[in-house]
Structure 1
Amino acid sequence: MKSALILGGTQFVGKRLVQLLLEEGIEVTIATRGMTSDSFGDHVSRLKISREDADSLQQAFRDKKWDVVFDQTCYSSQEALDTLKALAGKIKKYVFTSSQAVYDFGTNHKEENFDALEYQPTLKNRKEYSGYVGYQEAKRAAEAILFQNAKVPVVAVRFPIIVGKDDYTNRLKFHVEHVKEEKAMFIENPDLRYSFIDSEEAAKFLFSMAKSDYQGAINPGSKEDISLSELVVLIEDLSETKAIFHVDGDPSPYNLPGSWSVDIHRAQSLGYQFTSLDQLLDQLIHHYLQE
């Protein structure tokens, strides 16, 4: 791999991915709306696009080619189709940032629990998807469009919840701060379980998928999952402070309709290892407590 196009690349995992590629001497182009600044200077090329405007993709990608595209910003079936058309004949591999949300609510999902080749997508724009169910449909439909129509190998990386010191969503930090500051919070279903992955390992995994011969769907992440009640107990133990719960408290950003966790045996069978969930959460909780 000598060249890469990243759709996104200015925030969180995308930024980490760009840095990894640059360190390997890969020629990097980032394609964004141009609304978020980056710190890469003249080390990257930049294209301005709108994922909701097919013409902008055609114009930006005209007369260009890359070895691989990393799609970090696709949130609809229409965007997936428009991007495939705009990149036809211009790439050799498509690495799609998908989500464990493609699975029905539940725990320890294996890749075969959702088959994108069998899913019948409806063409929609991102504004037509709403809430968690809409997000689920969007990722399912985007995968289906890519796997059913791409002329190049496709990898769909079905990430669990991504956490890290650079996590701008502050969803894990929310829980730590509320316990530390003795602020009331509301957790609707404390027994629901979730999977997690470290943001640095997420970026490294994307890079590894691009370099490998693997194609298809794959679940990365810490092999364990955790319930929200167990997460709060861990925070309580490390902060030596009791959490306060109240129906009128600030609602947890992890108040989802059901559990979402994944089985990572396929990634492990390919030689990939991830930080244990206990170690990952322990490090991050300590970090947020010391801020």
Structure 2
Amino acid sequence: MNKVLVLGGTQYFGKKLVEMLIDHGNEVTIATRGTKADPFGDKVNRLRIDREKKETLAEAFKGKEWDLVYDQSCFSPTEARDTSELLCGRVGRYIFTSSQAVYEFGTLHKEEDFNPFTYPIKYKGRREYPGYVGYKEAKRASEAVFHQLGQFETVSSRFPIVVSEDDYTERLKFHVDKILSGQAIGIPQPEMRYSFIEAAEAANFLVKIGKSDYIGPINPGSAGDISLQELIDKIELLTGKEAIVDKNPPSDSMSPYALPGSWSIDTSRAAALGYGFMDLHLLLDTLIKKYIMAYGKISE
């Protein structure tokens, strides 16, 4: 039985990760602010921490050791440094949930397109990283801290857009609902392209990469990418309705995927290591059909 610490783990695919770790027979501890209920009952141990207050981590981690850590809640290099210092010598392997946002806008980025081992670090807190630009910089700098300090065998999992039927952000569902209701969708640049991964597959990947001996950055997800226009075409075909696309929209109709540029990843390294993911078009078709069915029930 492995002793596993999950920093976070009470939201979206973090919950799926914890459930899978429990099912695999691990002794799981979750460390959170304790402000959100979780569904795990007595199947996990709980620690209360605030990632912005180092002293809470020091108190929570005192006298404890784990075989493996999954970090779902780090959003600044300061948090990465504090956690690394306090867990040094207490943990062998560290799996950091990063993002494709570490890359510049563009398509099918390979892992070497961002090097965390040489990236200059400026230590700031999470509140100093607003918006998409801030999120991008925070993930870059956090990766850099974990890899450059070298306290653990570290994996940075650079996830693309995570989707599922129970996606609390409802970003994909937004497009289906707008088309079904005949409302405009704001897409200034429909040619922008993005990559995706299904939430349960994201959690399963984390479980498996944690058991492996892989170290370094890695891009998991469904192979390839899709443009916003292709996504709209797909929804039109499956709904039988024509989309109204506005290239100069008001903010309330703007697509949540309407970013300033393309963001997609090359997943060939993960595939070469034996990690498989759902076909991109099958994934999106399946979810779109479920959202269509859900919309019909709501309309009734």
The TM-score, its normalising length taken from structure 1, stands at: 0.98
Partner residue, 2:188: 188
Partner residue, 1:145: 145
Partner residue, 1:159: 159
Q: Please, what is the CA RMSD of the aligned residues? A: 0.9
Counterpart CA distance in 2 for 1:225 and 1:68 is: 32
Match of 1:286 among 286, 289, 296: 289
Amino acid at match of 1:269: A
Partner residue, 2:244: 244
Output aligned runs, 1:1-291, within 5 Å: 2-246=2-246, 247-249=248-250, 250-291=253-294
Gaps of 5+ in 1: none
Q: Deviations over 1:178-233 (max 9, x none)?
A: 11111112112110000000101100100111100000000010112000000011
Cα deviation for residue 101 of structure 1 reads: 0.6
Amino acid at match of 1:158: R
Counterpart CA distance in 1 for 2:200 and 2:90 is: 28
Amino acid at match of 1:78: T
Amino acid at match of 1:288: Y
Counterpart CA distance in 2 for 1:282 and 1:76 is: 35
Partner residue, 2:298: none
Q: Deviations over 1:15-69 (max 9, x none)?
A: 1101111111100000111111111100001111111111111111111111011
Counterpart CA distance in 1 for 2:112 and 2:120 is: 16
Give percent identity, aligned residues only.
Answer: 54
CA contact (8 A) 2:155 2:215 kept: yes
SS where residue 155 of structure 2 aligns? strand
Cα deviation for residue 245 of structure 1 reads: 2.2
SS where residue 93 of structure 1 aligns? strand
Amino acid at match of 2:186: F
Amino acid at match of 1:9: G
Cα deviation for residue 86 of structure 1 reads: 1.6
Amino acid at match of 2:76: S
The TM-score, its normalising length taken from structure 2, stands at: 0.95
Alignment size in residue pairs: 291
Amino acid at match of 2:220: P
Gaps of 5+ in 2: 295-300
Counterpart CA distance in 1 for 2:205 and 2:19 is: 14
CA contact (8 A) 2:88 2:152 kept: no
SS where residue 58 of structure 1 aligns? helix
Name segments (4+ residues, structure 1) moved above 2 Å.
Answer: 245-249
CA contact (8 A) 2:108 2:224 kept: no
Counterpart CA distance in 2 for 1:8 and 1:280 is: 26
Counterpart CA distance in 2 for 1:159 and 1:167 is: 15
Counterpart CA distance in 1 for 2:260 and 2:34 is: 34
Cα deviation for residue 171 of structure 1 reads: 0.6
